[in-house]
């Protein structure tokens, strides 16, 4: 079953750049893996979840690089394209 997450959390995983809160990233990763991840497990979970997110949402493969000098502006432009929230399913669900 899909659950919606803020696009900032999804994009933090997809871009591998923190554009949301760490709590938000942990929430999406925990949901996708079904595990309460420790801090040391987050990097490997991000790699696995990123691939799964891109399979579910191939349009996100076109996300431009994060403008780290203007993350709020970059994020606003991504919200305009992809919306405020995105539905994500856990990894073990087809």
Beta strand residue intervals within the chain, DSSP E: 3-6, 85-88
Total-model pTM: 0.93
Domain coordinates of the chain in residue numbers?
3-88
- Chain segment 14-47, per-residue pLDDT in tens: 999 999 999 999 999 999 999 999 999 999 999 9
- Chain segment 46-58, per-residue pLDDT in tens: 999 999 999 999 9
CB 8 within 8 A of CB 24: yes
CB 56 within 8 A of CB 88: yes
Residue 93 confidence (pLDDT) above 80:
no
CB 35 within 8 A of CB 49: no
CB 93 within 8 A of CB 35: no
- Segment 55-70 shows an average pLDDT of 93
Residue 13 confidence (pLDDT) above 70:
yes
């Amino acid at each position: 079953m899909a659950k919606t997450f803020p696009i900032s959390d999804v994009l933090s995983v997809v871009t591998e750049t923190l554009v949301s809160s760490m709590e938000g990233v942990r929430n999406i990763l925990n949901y996708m893996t079904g595990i309460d991840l420790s801090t040391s497990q987050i990097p490997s979970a991000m790699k696995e979840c990123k691939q799964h997110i891109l399979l579910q949402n191939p349009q996100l493969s076109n996300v431009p690089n994060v403008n780290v000098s203007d993350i709020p502006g970059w994020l606003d432009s991504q919200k305009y394209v992809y919306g405020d929230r995105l539905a994500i399913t856990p990894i073990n669900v087809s």
